[in-house]
Structure formats: structure tokens, C-alpha cells
């Protein structure tokens, strides 16, 4: 438990015992794994990895200091920023993509490791981060707003969602394509709306499942397909190769004109989730027209 005599941050066992700065002192925080931990209101971030390409999310991150890549956190850059708290993945976990960085970071400032699990579900890590920086009230408001939007959409399209099987393509590489799953970063948003998944997109506790390009026919039960795209709607993440496959053109959803681009992949915050919900609703309207 944190020392209640301090305005302190909730540090894990073994972290340096250092009080949080008092207003108007600047509170600094580093986010070397920004993709899985978006900013929480009221915190002054000094450095981040802005490797995610979602424009509305990356733009504000690019205005603050670069502390390296997701696979190569630059400890010297972090040190130069003199942080008061460093957030990052639990050492040795699936999303600890810069081995040793968190151990070295402990020499610079208190470190709060966040457990990102294995599925890509961002909601738990976001709540943990909010507690760590004393922003639970902000978090809870964002969560409530998101849940209200999800509930409204689910209620408005219950019948359509119940009879429409959906598949979401995330990327393609090395002769495989990846489908988002219900437990993943995008999947949890769609799951909150009550979607019906195609048979290839059944939950398995992971963020996605990779299938051979030769297995594109496994999407033949989907009525509606979504695929990662850039800001202009062109397929991204290697998916252009998938959309050129003869088997893609023969899928029932594609033949019916119900394959749509999306730009909101890799959701990792409630506001981002709300944008995804709005865009998904627009796709449902296109589908139902």
C-alpha cells in the first residue's frame, strides 16, 4: 500500500521510495510502450514511443520527446528527461519488447510495471495505470462514456448484429494473414457491441490468429469483413496482398460489396474505442443500406 502521508504514487514492492512532486511541480512520466498504454488525463508526459500509426493518437505523441523504439528503449534519453515515474511492461512479459530496459530504468526513477497480459485487452492495464498515477476518477469517466456508446449501439443494432457474422483482418506477412479475435485490442470493442464472429475468429485468449493465405476461404461464412487501412482507405499492414488474391474476390462478403476499410486498429483507450464504435456504426449502416 502507498504511504498515506504522501501524495504519492502507488509503487510496487522494491521500487525506490520517492514521493510524487507537489503542484505546481511538473509531473513527468515516460511511456516506452505507448501502444498498450495511452495517456491518462492530467499527466504531463515527457517521452514516448510513437510507433502506432493511428493518426489521431500519434499526433499528440509526436509533440513530446522520443525515447526510442518499442524494441529498443533509449535509457540515455530517458535519463536526460529526469522523470519522476516510469511506466512500462512487466519485465519478461509478452509485451516486454525491449529486454532489460525496465531493469535499467529503475536506476533513474520509480518504476511501475504494468501487466499487459497476452490477449491485447487494454482495459485492465489502463485501469492499473490510472491507479498508479492517481487518475482513477478520470479513468472511470472515460470508461462510463465509452460503455454508454457501446450500450446504445448494441441496443440499436441487436437484430443486425445477431444475424451478421463478422471478420476483421489485421495484417499479413510471410504468407499468412491475421484475424482479430474477441479477446484482443480491437475485438473487445466489437465484443462490447454484441457482434457475431465468423468461425475463424473464435476466441482463444490471444490478440489474433494467423492463417495461411491459402486458407482465405475460411472467411466464407462472414457476411461483413473489415480490414486495416491507411487514412486514404487503402489496405495497410500487408493486406494489399490479401485483397489481390483470387480467393478474396470470391468470398461472399466481398462479392456482395461488404468488405470495408478501417483505420482504428490496435485500440488501446476508451476515447479511441469510442471512435472505433462510431466508425463501426457507419459500416453497419453501409451494410444494411
Q: Which residue has the cell 461488404?
A: 258
Residues 104 and 161 in one domain: no
- 174 lies in the same domain as 84: no
All residue ranges of the chain with pLDDT < 50 are: 1-44, 46-52
271 with 164, same domain: the answer is yes
Residues 200 and 107 occupy one common structural domain: no
Residue 13 placed within a domain? no
Residue 16 lies in a domain: no
Within-domain flag for 265: yes
Q: Indicate if 90 and 167 belong to the same structural domain.
A: no
**Residue 283 shares a structural domain with residue 169:** yes
Question: In terms of domains, do 83 and 197 share one?
Answer: no
Which pLDDT value is given to residue 143? 97
Number of compact structural domains in the chain: 2
Q: Say yes or no: 77 and 192 in one domain.
A: no
CA–CA separation, 99 vs 105, rounded Å? 11
User: What is the per-residue pLDDT for 46?
Assistant: 47
51 and 98 co-located in one domain: yes
Q: Please state, in angstroms and as integers, the Cα–Cα distance from residue 287 to each residue in 159, 181, 228, 260, 280, following that order.
A: 13, 21, 18, 9, 10
**Residue 220 within a domain:** yes
Q: Which domain holds residue 89?
A: 28-134
> Do 125 and 162 reside in the same domain of the chain?
no
Give pLDDT tens digits for 36-89: 344 444 444 544 444 445 666 667 777 778 888 878 899 999 999 999 999 888
Give Cα 4 to chain centroid, integer Å: 33
Q: Within this chain, do residues 75 and 120 fall inside the same structural domain, yes or no?
A: yes
Determine, yes or no, domain membership for 168.
yes
Inside any domain, residue 100: yes
Cα 28 to Cα 80, 133, 142: the distances in Å are 12, 11, 22
State whether 278 and 207 are in the same domain: yes
Instruction: Report the distance separating Cα 73 and Cα 259, nearest Å.
Output: 38
pLDDT at 16: 35
Q: Is residue 196 part of a domain?
A: yes
3-state secondary structure (DSSP) of residue 164: coil
Q: Give the whole-angstrom CA distance, residue 48 versus residue 83.
A: 12
Residue where one domain finishes, among candidates 69, 100, 134: 134
> CATH number, domain at 174?
3.40.50.1980
The predicted structure's pLDDT at residue 92: 86
Amino acid at each position: 500500500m502507498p504511504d498515506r502521508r504522501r501524495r504519492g504514487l502507488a509503487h510496487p514492492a522494491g521500487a525506490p521510495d520517492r514521493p510524487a512532486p507537489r503542484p505546481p511541480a511538473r509531473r513527468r512520466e515516460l511511456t516506452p510502450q505507448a501502444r498498450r498504454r495511452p495517456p491518462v488525463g492530467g499527466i504531463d508526459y515527457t517521452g514516448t514511443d510513437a510507433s502506432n500509426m493511428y493518426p489521431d493518437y500519434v499526433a499528440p505523441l509526436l509533440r513530446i520527446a522520443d525515447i526510442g523504439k518499442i524494441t529498443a528503449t533509449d535509457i540515455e534519453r530517458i535519463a536526460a528527461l529526469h522523470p519522476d515515474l516510469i511506466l512500462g511492461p512487466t519485465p519478461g512479459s509478452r509485451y516486454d519488447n525491449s529486454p532489460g530496459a525496465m531493469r535499467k530504468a529503475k536506476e533513474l526513477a520509480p518504476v511501475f510495471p504494468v501487466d499487459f497480459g497476452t490477449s491485447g485487452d487494454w482495459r485492465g492495464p489502463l485501469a492499473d495505470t490510472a491507479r498508479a498515477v492517481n487518475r482513477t476518477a478520470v479513468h472511470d469517466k472515460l470508461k462510463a462514456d465509452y460503455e454508454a456508446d457501446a450500450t446504445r449501439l448494441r441496443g440499436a443494432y441487436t437484430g443486425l448484429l445477431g444475424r451478421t457474422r463478422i471478420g476483421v483482418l489485421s495484417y499479413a506477412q510471410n504468407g499468412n494473414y491475421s484475424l482479430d479475435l474477441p479477446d484482443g485490442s480491437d475485438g473487445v470493442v466489437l465484443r462490447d457491441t454484441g457482434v457475431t464472429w465468423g468461425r475463424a475468429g473464435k476466441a482463444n485468449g490471444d490478440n489474433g490468429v494467423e492463417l495461411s493465405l491459402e486458407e482465405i476461404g475460411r472467411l466464407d461464412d462472414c457476411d461483413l469483413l473489415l480490414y486495416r487501412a491507411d487514412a486514404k482507405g487503402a489496405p495497410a499492414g500487408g493486406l494489399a496482398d490479401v485483397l489481390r488474391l483470387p480467393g478474396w474476390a470470391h468470398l461472399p462478403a466481398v462479392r456482395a460489396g461488404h468488405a470495408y476499410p478501417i483505420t482504428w486498429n490496435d485500440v488501446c483507450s476508451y476515447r479511441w474505442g469510442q471512435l472505433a464504435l462510431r466508425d463501426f456504426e457507419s459500416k453497419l449502416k453501409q451494410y444494411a443500406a
